[in-house]
Structure 1
Amino acid sequence: MEVLYKILFFISAFIIIWAMVGYPISIKIIGRLYKKNRELKKDYSHQPTVTVMVVAHNEEKVILGKLNNIIKLDYPQHKIEFLITSDNSTDKTNDIVTEFINENKHLNIRLYEVKARKGKTNAQNEASRTVTTDFIVMTDANSMMDKDSVKELMAAFSADDIAYVTGRLSFVNKEASDISGAQSSYWDSDVAIREIEGRIQTITAGNGALYACRTKEYYEFNPIQSHDTAMPLFYALQGKRAIANHDAKVYEKAGEVVEDEFGRKVRMNRLILNHILPDLKILNVFKYKWFTFFYLGHRTSRYLLWFSHFILLLSNAFLVTGSWFYALMFISQILFYGLAIIKLITKTSNKYITLIYYYCVTVFAQWVGVRNILTGKAKPFWEKAESTR
């Protein structure tokens, strides 16, 4: 049994280290090797017809600001339409949108009302059937778009094999709290990874705040799925590319309290078991090339963190008396989790303890996601995080 415990210990340790340290380092090295001939090519003369779709559920606090934001986009007015998709809103969202439309009849704005709330993806599916433009740009109600964002997204569709382009989300409240600061730090590092993945071949996940695809290539995913994870994977398995153009910018607030951030991560993990290896075809490195490495390194390893940490601690407990090394590793794990508990109890603002706490919250959210899946509680819709509004 000792041999088995050692195997489990080292495999779990490898997955954790690779997910958080090994893969980010490896992708930066690969990025440098491919830097010369893999720069993103843009064609600013590519200005097709576009529908900017905003999905909203009870967004009365921010929807007027969003409407005023999107009508100021720098894109030919005769080539852009605005579609507000209300996912069975029960507050004043629909009234605000309707009034805005009546006051701006010179603009092509329309409201699509989803009668039964089934989540963002279902709302996008329903509304997409009414779109007649060449491209769809998706954006969230609480995300403020840079005036050149649509122009940048369209310029990145410079080749027929590019099926999806996501923009760069930046948080405007990094300094608001230690939680928003930790989220911003994590996100900035992930954005750097995505830029390299897209430049070399294809990204493994997108960003719901701002992305675009061809209308004819839009696929109606199961409402429980999220475009962030489903779309790039779907296109990659078709031999197409999903890329990031970080000159297409969008801004929003990060969660400022742990409850909001934890809830968001639980929602993100509502299909975590499926995401570990969603399709065996991914393993065909000869066909999918770098995407195989990207997905296993960036996604599979991270989706296994919840299980890897558990197995690492458990196997280490059985090995703790075997040598000083295992004793040291066990003490280190206990101290690591202990620091997270200290943050929870004392609310200390120490940067490093906050990062440890944020990481532990992330892993625990994966466990809750798994529990929701196994108990049938995973759902396609959720309540918004108020601190991000």
Structure 2
Amino acid sequence: MLTLQVGFWLCVGLILYSYLIYPMMLAVAVRLQNPQTSAPETCEIPVESWPRISLIIAAYCEENVILQRLHNALMLDYPADRIEILIGVDGDLDATGEIVASIPDDRIRLLQFPVRRGKASVLNDCFAAATGEILLFSDANTFWDKDAAKQLVRHFTKNSVGGVCGRLILTDADGGTNCDGLYWRYENQLKEWEGQLGALLGANGAIYGIRKNLYQPIPPQTIIDDFLIGMRIHQQGSRFLYEPNAIAREETAPTISDEFKRRSRIGAGGFQSLAWLSSLLLPHYGLVSWAFWSHKVLRWICPAAMLVALVSNWFLAVTPPYQALLLLQSGFYLAALCGAMSILPGPLGKLSRVLWMFVNMNAALASGFWKWLSQSQSATWKRTDRSETETESKPEFVASVK
């Protein structure tokens, strides 16, 4: 009985720490930080001082959006003679390469790879071909605000900064409006706080930049390249920051199923990355180690903690305290089920969708763990067609939780 009690409270404490206590501790740490670590407020850098940059976009079957993406990249407010746009096309499977090659602009460089190998290999080859001292990374279905490149690059005036990640705003495919959900805003706030402490955990593949001399070729089997590339900045002793004013916009995944697959892939990639990033868990890395344990590793094992908490509570429900706790847990999952079906109105409906988001997200992490364990998650990526009309609703944890 004692073992069950210890297991129950340990799991409950782990979940509460990762999702509630850690964010509060992080907020306090930011308030106590030295003000001199904050970044410059403006982009007032002389024209001749902006470094040469290479914007790298890995593309796979993106013929429907690549022309718009190139137009968006060419409109960036950055000295035209100091920017190149590298489009690495993974496999000659559609007209993506032909469209890129047809654009009469010297800033655009096409790297057409005839055989599909995966995003990691494309990024490695683009890195080798890049001529910029700063590498910026983005996706083919992502669109940057005009000043986004400058907002990222301005931080590299500090030699201690090795990388900078921007802010991704999710938009509704129907109206193009900001549909950031509660959880997305929560995660962005954590990124901002961690970035202010120089402990940002990986990058968002939609918008980030690093110094070229800090890029280390990643293994071809890498599942989540942006996380690995960003965390390696810390391994090399440089700071990795978050810049909320460097904004990229991207449509949400069209269905709950698509979002579940995306999170499952991220989960598999997270477990995979531990073999390469385990050194960052050592106390030697200070705040980075603390954030890595609290925001990533403990979250990755939350699905197991939720299961153990429920099962152990079931066996402990022979005494009144644990009977009440079992009822509370049962009510939690029942409310989450109501959120999945969107059957509750008003504030209760919003709360139930938050609970459903939490359960769904952890189910995806559990799926990702199994895919990693069984080695069934491929490193190659499958494009999500965000333009098609689906019968399923938008992901509740992005579109509906507002």
Do the two structures share a fold, i.e. TM-score over 0.5? yes
Structure-1 residue corresponding to 2:336:
340
Q: Is the 8 A contact 1:232 1:241 kept in 2?
A: no
Contact between 1:114 and 1:126, CA under 8 Å: does it hold in 2? no
Task: Give the counterpart of 1:193 among 186, 190, 194.
Answer: 190
CA–CA separation in structure 2 for the residues paired with 1:128 and 1:144: 21
Q: What is the alpha-carbon distance in structure 1 between the residues aligned to residue 140 and residue 173 of structure 2?
A: 20
Structure 2 residue aligned with 1:264: 262
> Equivalent residues in 2 for 1:346-365 (5 A)?
350-365=349-364
1:216–1:87 CA distance, 2 compared to 1 (3 A): same
Q: CA deviation at 1:123?
A: 1.0
Kindly provide the amino acid, as one letter, of the partner of residue 269 in structure 1: G
Give the AA of the match of 2:111.
Y
Residue 156 of structure 1: SS of its match in structure 2? helix
Q: Conserved in 1, the CA contact under 8 Å of 2:167 and 2:244?
A: yes
Match for residue 297 of structure 1? 294
Match in the other structure for 1:320: 317
Structure 1 match to 2:181: 184
- Letter paired with 2:52: T
The answer for the alignment partner of 2:395 in structure 1 is none
Whether 2:61 is the aligned partner of 1:58: answer yes
Letter in 1 for 2:84: E
Residue 141 of structure 1 aligns with which residue?
Answer: 140
Aligned mates of 2:89, 2:99 — CA distance in 1:
11
Residue by residue, what CA displacement relative to the aligned partner does 1:275-294 show, whole Å, maximum 9, x if unpaired? Answer: 56864533432x32211211
State the alpha-carbon separation in 2 of the partners of residues 256 and 331 from structure 1.
35
Aligned match of 1:73: 76
Q: Which residue of 1 aligns with 2:124?
A: 125
Out of 223, 244, 247, the residue aligned to residue 246 of structure 1 is: 244
Matches of 2:309 and 2:174, distance apart in 1? 34
Q: Which moved more, 1:366-375 or 1:337-346?
A: 337-346
Question: Which residue matches 1:155?
Answer: 154
Corresponding residue SS for 1:10: helix
- Maintained 8 Å contact 2:88/2:113: yes
Counting matched residue pairs gives: 379
Change (3 A) 1:296 1:113: same
Provide the secondary structure at the position in 2 that maps to 1:356.
helix
Match of 1:236 in 2: 234
Aligned residues of 1:15 and 1:304 also touching (Cα < 8 A): no
Q: Any conservation in 1 of the 2:166–2:243 contact (CA below 8 Å)? A: yes
Paired residue type of 1:360: V
Amino acid at match of 1:55: A
Q: What's the RMSD between the two structures over aligned residues?
A: 2.3
Partner residue, 2:325: 329
In structure 1, C-alpha distance between the alignment counterparts of 2:143 and 2:341, rounded to whole Å: 35
1:382 shift after superposition: 2.5
Partner of 2:229, secondary structure, is helix
**In structure 2, distance between residues paired with 1:387 and 1:252:** 10
Question: Partners of 2:136 and 2:274 in 1: how far apart?
Answer: 28
Residue pair 2:119, 2:379 contacting (<8 A) in 1 also: yes
1:197: how far off?
Answer: 1.3
Kindly indicate whether residue 212 of structure 2 is the aligned counterpart of residue 215 of structure 1: yes
Which residue of 1 is the match for residue 394 of structure 2? none
Point out where structure 1 has 5 or more consecutive residues left out of the alignment.
none
Query: 61-70 vs 195-204, which deviates more?
Result: 195-204
Task: State the Cα distance separating 1:273 from its structure 2 match.
Answer: 2.8
Task: Describe the shift of the 1:337–1:174 C-alpha distance in structure 2 as closer, same or farther (beyond 3 A).
Answer: farther
Encode CA deviations 1:149-188: one digit per residue, 9 max, x unaligned: 11111101132221111111111229979xx95x632122
Alpha-carbon offset, residue 348 of structure 1: 5.7
| Residues 245, 252 of structure 1: alpha-carbon distance in 2 compared, 3 angstrom cutoff | same
User: 270, 286, 306: which is aligned to 1:309?
Assistant: 306
